[in-house]
Structure formats: structure tokens, C-alpha cells
Amino acid sequence: MSYAIETHGLRYRASRTFEIRDLDLAVREGAIYGFLGPNGAGKTTTIQLLLGQLRPHGGAIAVLGRRVPKDLPEILAEAGYVPERPHLYPYLSVREAIRYHAAFYRSFDAAYADELLGNFRLPGDQRLSRLSKGEMGKLHMLLVLAQRPRLLVLDEPTDGLDPVVRRDVLSALLAFCSQRAATVFISSHLVHELERVCDWVGLLDLGRLVAEMPMEAFKNGIKRIRLGRAPAATDERPFELVSRDAGAGGETWVVRGWQPAMVQWFSGAGGEIREVEDLDLEDGFVELLRAARSRGA
């Protein structure tokens, strides 16, 4: 198994109140990896560490099989990056901005940039200072895709964009990945936005990796189980117990790694299930965060 991004024991103390703690990431080559977390979780800080913009206080980072920061020039030549707050010179026109960006990358595909310019319906002669937020979002995606990178690192790339522009941007990203088998590392706090594009999910909170799993497991494997009677024994469960709350009418468990056949375990252990409730992505996201924070406290 080869990985586009790997970190081992990554540590970075940003302030007295926040730090990245022993972060172990493993992003497979060719994956579209959703790096989820609430605002302030440390997603942007992690990305800056991966790309050498910050120097870690401990641990190791490898990107595209090379070490950070030792091999940064080679890494950045093959990586496309859209930061959380991108900067382009506002006095340039769209076409001038494309030519300026192209000068830094030998792999830049001018013909593909022209194709995207038409697909995104961007006005080539318009100055950047007069573009809408949606048009700027499309332009940033155009620039990184036209680099033809092996790795795309996107920090909240659709934040604040309207649904139509968001769909255009994500559709272009998917089309590129189908052609190039590139790896995508995309951060967001919008869970549903990443559902249709990502095949892996990592959940970050307070500088810690709370969970990492295939998107399919995130969508279908997290359930809320309402019990009339809790099992007498809870050892050797066939699933992970995320949280357990007692109420007047019985207990409620949130579990991870659920399969329908697991109802038999409850009856064998003396439990009584009243309901197995599907959780949508946002509910699952919240339950995992709540449980992680409870354990941390």
C-alpha cells in the first residue's frame, strides 16, 4: 500500500490553548480524502504543516513519498493547493492570472486551462477585482487543476459559494480525478458537501484525529440503538460503543461498525432492542465529536 500523505506522531503547539497532538494520518494514493472537523479543529494548521508552511515540533511528515521539509521543492512541484484565504493580484485579468500561475509549473496545461475557462464561463478579460466570489472560486480551482498535479490539497475550497458554483467546482474536481487518478485531500466543516465526492474520511477535533474510515462505513455503519433492556454483559462486543446514555425508558447506545446481524448479539447477551435508528452524516459527525470530547474531559 502506497500513501500520498503520511504523518507519524505529528505535534505542533500553536498557542497555550491549542496544539496538534500525535497526529497519525495515512492518505492512500488515488483517494479523495475528506478532512472533516469543526471550525478551530486544526485543519488549516495541519495542512500548513504538510506543505512546509509551519515547522512541526515533533513527529514526521511524508508527502508523495518524500520528506517534509527536506524535499519541499519536489513536493510542491507536484502538488496543487487552494488555501483557505487565497490571494491573487486583483489588478490582473483572468487570462493574465492564468499565464502568471503557469510560469511556476512545468506541468501546467494551457489547453486544459482554456477548456476549464469555457466550462466555468469565466470572462477572460475581466480584472480579478471585478469578479464575484463564485467566479474567484472557479478561477482558483482552474489554476490548480491545470497544473495537472499528483496531489490536490484544498482547504475549504467551496466555503461561502452558492450551491450552483459549489456543484460546478466539485464536478470539475471529480472529472479531473477520473482522468488522472490524482489524490485529493480536502478539508471542510460541511459534512454533506463531501458525501458525494470522498471515499475516505478523517475527523479532526481539538488537534486530535477522532476517527478515520471509508466514507461508506461513515454513512452506513454508525447507528443509534434504543434499548428496552441493556445487555447483562458488554465484553467482546462485535461493534465499537461510541456512547451510552441512560434514560427513564431504557438506554440509548451509539455504535460504530454496525451490521444488521449484530441484533443476535443483543438477544444472546440478555438485551432487548426497541429500535435501530439510521444517522445521517451530520448526526454521525456530531456523535463522534461528542463522544471524543467526553473521553477527553
What are 218-254's pLDDT values in tens digits? Answer: 888 899 999 988 887 666 788 888 888 887 778 899 9
Give the confidence band of 1 by pLDDT, cuts at 50, 70, 90: low
Confidence at residue 63, expressed as pLDDT on a 0 to 100 scale: 97
Beta bridge partners of 209: 204
Domain boundaries, the chain: 3-216, 221-296
Please provide residue 170's backbone torsions phi and psi, each rounded to the nearest 5 degrees: -70, -35
Distance separating alpha carbons of residues 149 and 176, to the nearest angstrom: 10
- 87-108 confidence digits (pLDDT tens): 899 999 999 999 999 999 999 9
| pLDDT at residue number 118 | 95
What percent of the chain shows pLDDT beyond 70?
98
User: Which residues does residue 23 pair with via DSSP β-bridges, in sequence order?
Assistant: 10
Those residues with Cβ within 8 angstroms of residue 242's Cβ, 6 or more apart along the chain or in another chain: 222, 253, 254, 255, 256, 287, 288, 291
User: Cell 500520498 identifies what position?
Assistant: 4
pLDDT band for position 42 (50/70/90)?
very high
Question: In angstroms, what CA-CA distances link 209 with 4, 42, 96?
Answer: 18, 10, 41
The whole-angstrom distance between residue 144's C-alpha and the CA centroid of its chain comes to 17
What pLDDT does residue 266 have?
Answer: 85
Q: What is the pLDDT of residue 291?
A: 85
In angstroms, the CA 69 to CA 73 distance is: 9
Query: Can you give the pTM of this predicted structure?
Result: 0.89
Helix (H) / strand (E) element for 174: namely: helix 163-180
Write the CA distances from 11 to 54, 185, 186, 297, integer angstroms.
11, 19, 21, 20
More confident residue, 62 or 179: 62
Nearest-angstrom CA–CA distance, 288 and 297: 14
Give, rounded to a whole angstrom, the gap between the first and last alpha carbons of the chain.
Answer: 36
Q: What is the pLDDT of residues 204-214, one digit of tens each?
A: 999 999 989 99
- The mean pLDDT value of the chain amounts to 90
3-216: CATH number: 3.40.50.300
Percent of the chain with pLDDT over 90: 59
